[in-house]
Amino acid sequence: MAELPIYHDSYRPSSNWAKRLEAARQAHPAAAVLAAQPRWLPKWIAGLEAYAVPPFDTASDATTLAALERAARWLLARATAKPGDQRDALTMDDLETACRELVGEQGDTVQVWRTAAGRPQVENHQPAAPAALPVLLEMTLDWFTTDAFAELHPVEQAGLFHLRLLDLQPFAARTNTLVRLLSSFYVLRAGFPPIIPIAEEQSAYRDVVGYAFQMITQPGVELFARWLLAAYSLIETEQEERR
């Protein structure tokens, strides 16, 4: 199987973020993360909402807070359904369900997959033609089940997912919001909290997306790691208030 066009060497850590995250996970295991959900879930939804606007997503079909919460709760349940199973993987059906949770209301007919030209994310970016999306998505999701992918840190896995799906632009609507949401699957299944976008760091996020499309991926990984460490600060606050 051909590997995705990502240079693995660019994913090697350049700071101590991995050690800091592992220390936080040891101090706050998965059960503690889930117990603090009332603290971080509203922050996660608010962070996703802050980025659900141009230039981070399309201007039409504004995403409601209720829809974001519905999709976030679905992903949380899906990612924690098999605790500790690092081979649990997102499927095409999962992507479709996530899209329906975010975009549609009960009883709506939702167009899930893109049938028109995709929205370029950076200069010279050309998303795949709609007819090629099914095969490319299947290949991508299949690669995310390989040994090579499993060897990566969950934050690196989230970064790869984030970049590849931004590149493909697979959904008919709200693609970028869905990609940021679904990227948290890889950290949640490993017992970390979700990757909560920080509204004040939109400029940094825009920069790391630009770098990632040049195959300079480490800044994006470190941004995600910083957002995870901020989520652990919320958990610590929750625990302190319970004492």
Taking only the tens place, the pLDDT of each residue in 94-135 is 999 999 999 876 556 789 999 999 999 999 999 999 999 999
Amino acid present at 231:
A
Helices of type H across the chain:
17-27, 30-35, 37-50, 65-79, 92-103, 133-143, 147-150, 154-168, 175-182, 185-188, 202-212, 218-242
| Residue 160 reports pLDDT greater than 90 | yes
Distance CA 146, CA 143 (A): 5
Looking at residue 142, its pLDDT comes to 96
What is the Rg, in whole angstroms, of the alpha carbon atoms belonging to the chain? Answer: 17
| Residue 11 reports pLDDT greater than 70 | no
Tell me what the pLDDT averaged over the chain comes to: 88
| Residue 140 reports pLDDT greater than 60 | yes
| Residue 49 reports pLDDT greater than 80 | yes
* Residue 171 β-bridge partners: 113
- The sign of the CA dihedral 122, 128, 129, 131 is negative
| Residue 239 reports pLDDT greater than 80 | no
For residue 182, what are the CA distances in angstroms to 24, 127, 148, 228, 236? Answer: 22, 19, 20, 15, 24
Looking at residue 108, its pLDDT comes to 63
Looking at residues 59-81, what average pLDDT do you find?
85
Looking at residue 85, its pLDDT comes to 77
Confidence category of residue 13, pLDDT binned at 50, 70, 90: very low
Looking at residue 86, its pLDDT comes to 76
CB atoms within 10 A of CB 151: 10
Looking at residue 59, its pLDDT comes to 55
Q: Which residue has the higher pLDDT, 240 or 22?
A: 22
The fold for domain 18-242 equals Fic-like fold (1.10.3290)
Looking at residue 10, its pLDDT comes to 42
For the whole model, what pTM was predicted?
Answer: 0.90
Kindly state the tokens that stand for 37. 């959900």
Q: Which residue has the tokens 């099914």?
A: 134
